[in-house]
Structure 1
Amino acid sequence: MSTVDPQRRVLSGMRPSGRLHLGHYHGVLKNWVKLQHEYECFFCIVDWHALTTDYDDVGNIAQHVSDMAVDWLAAGVSPSSANMFIQSQVPEHAELHLLLSMICPLSWLERVPSYKEQQDQLHHKDLGTYGFLGYPLLQAADILLYRAGLVPVGSDQLPHIEFAREVARRFNHLYGREPGFEAKAEAAILRLGKKTAKLYNSLRKAFQEQGDTEALDTARALLKEVQSITLGDKERLFGYLEGGGKVLLPEPHALLSEAPKMAGLDGGKMATSHFKGGNSNAIFLRDTPAEVEDKLRRMPTDPARVHRDDPGEPSRCPVWQLHEVYSDEPTLHWVQQGCRSAGIGCIDCKGPLIEAVQAELKPLQLRALDYQDSPEVVRNILAEGAERARDEARETLIDVRAALGLNYR
Structure 2
Amino acid sequence: MRPTGRLHLGHLVGALSKWVTLQDAYDCFYFVADWHALTSDFADTSQVTEYAYDNVADWIGVGLDPGKSTFFVQSLVPAHAELYVLLSMVVPVPWLERVPTYKEQQENLKDKDLSSIGFLGYPLLQTADVAMYDARFVPVGDDQVAHLELAREVVRRFNNFFGGDALVEPEPLLTSFSRLPGLDGGKKMSKSIGNTIHLSDTPDEVRKKVMSMYTDPKRVRADIPGTVEGNPVFTYHDAFNPNTAEVDDLKARYRAGRVGDVEVKRKLADALNAHLDPIRERRAGVLAKPDRLKQIL
TM-score > 0.5, shorter chain as reference: yes
Q: Which runs of 4+ in 1 moved over 4 A?
A: none
Judge conservation of contact 1:71–1:368 (CA < 8 Å) in 2: yes
Q: Which residue does 2:240 correspond to in 1?
A: 326
Q: Given the alignment, which residue of 264, 283, 288 partners 2:202? A: 288
**Cα shift at 1:341:** 0.7
2:200 equivalent to 1:247: no
SS at match of 1:85: strand
Unaligned runs of 5+ in 1: 1-13, 177-245, 275-279, 383-409
After TM superposition, list the pairs within 5 Å mapping 1:48-63 onto structure 2: 48-63=35-50
| Amino acid in structure 2 at the alignment position of 1:342 | G
2:114 equivalent to 1:127: yes
Q: Which residue does 1:137 correspond to in 2?
A: 124
Separation in structure 2 between the aligned mates of residue 286 and residue 140 of structure 1, nearest angstrom? 31
**Cα shift at 1:122:** 1.4
Cα deviation digits, residues 5-32 of structure 1 (max 9, x gap): xxxxxxxxx1111000111111111111
After TM superposition, list the pairs within 5 Å mapping 1:5-404 onto structure 2: 14-176=1-163, 246-268=164-186, 269-274=188-193, 280-327=194-241, 328-382=243-297
Separation in structure 2 between the aligned mates of residue 141 and residue 247 of structure 1, nearest angstrom? 15
Judge conservation of contact 2:83–2:128 (CA < 8 Å) in 1: yes
SS at match of 1:96: helix
Deviates more, 1:293-302 or 1:324-333: 324-333
Judge conservation of contact 2:180–2:189 (CA < 8 Å) in 1: yes
**Cα shift at 1:168:** 0.7
SS at match of 2:82: helix
**Cα shift at 1:101:** 0.6
**Cα shift at 1:72:** 1.0
**Greater Rg, structure 1 or structure 2?**
1
Separation in structure 1 between the aligned mates of residue 265 and residue 111 of structure 2, nearest angstrom? 36
Q: How well do the aligned residues superpose, as a CA RMSD in angstroms?
A: 1.2
Judge conservation of contact 1:261–1:321 (CA < 8 Å) in 2: no
Judge conservation of contact 1:93–1:141 (CA < 8 Å) in 2: yes
Separation in structure 1 between the aligned mates of residue 192 and residue 235 of structure 2, nearest angstrom? 20
**Cα shift at 1:175:** 2.4
Judge conservation of contact 2:32–2:73 (CA < 8 Å) in 1: yes
**Cα shift at 1:100:** 0.6
Identity, in percent, stands at 46
SS at match of 1:254: strand
SS at match of 1:158: helix
Cα deviation digits, residues 146-182 of structure 1 (max 9, x gap): 1111111221111110010000111122223xxxxxx
SS at match of 2:29: strand
Length-normalised TM-score, structure 2: 0.96
Separation in structure 2 between the aligned mates of residue 254 and residue 36 of structure 1, nearest angstrom? 16
Length-normalised TM-score, structure 1: 0.70
**Cα shift at 1:316:** 3.6
Judge conservation of contact 2:240–2:275 (CA < 8 Å) in 1: no
**Cα shift at 1:352:** 2.3
Judge conservation of contact 2:57–2:286 (CA < 8 Å) in 1: yes
| Amino acid in structure 2 at the alignment position of 1:333 | D
Judge conservation of contact 1:17–1:61 (CA < 8 Å) in 2: yes
**Cα shift at 1:51:** 0.3
| Amino acid in structure 1 at the alignment position of 2:223 | D
Separation in structure 2 between the aligned mates of residue 71 and residue 118 of structure 1, nearest angstrom? 26
Deviates more, 1:141-150 or 1:320-329: 320-329
Separation in structure 2 between the aligned mates of residue 49 and residue 22 of structure 1, nearest angstrom? 21
Separation in structure 1 between the aligned mates of residue 97 and residue 53 of structure 2, nearest angstrom? 33
Cα deviation digits, residues 308-339 of structure 1 (max 9, x gap): 21111101411111112123431232122111
Higher helix proportion, which one?
Answer: 1
**Cα shift at 1:53:** 0.5
**Cα shift at 1:128:** 1.3
Separation in structure 2 between the aligned mates of residue 358 and residue 127 of structure 1, nearest angstrom? 38
Judge conservation of contact 1:260–1:325 (CA < 8 Å) in 2: no
| Amino acid in structure 1 at the alignment position of 2:148 | I
**Cα shift at 1:365:** 0.7
Separation in structure 1 between the aligned mates of residue 195 and residue 178 of structure 2, nearest angstrom? 17
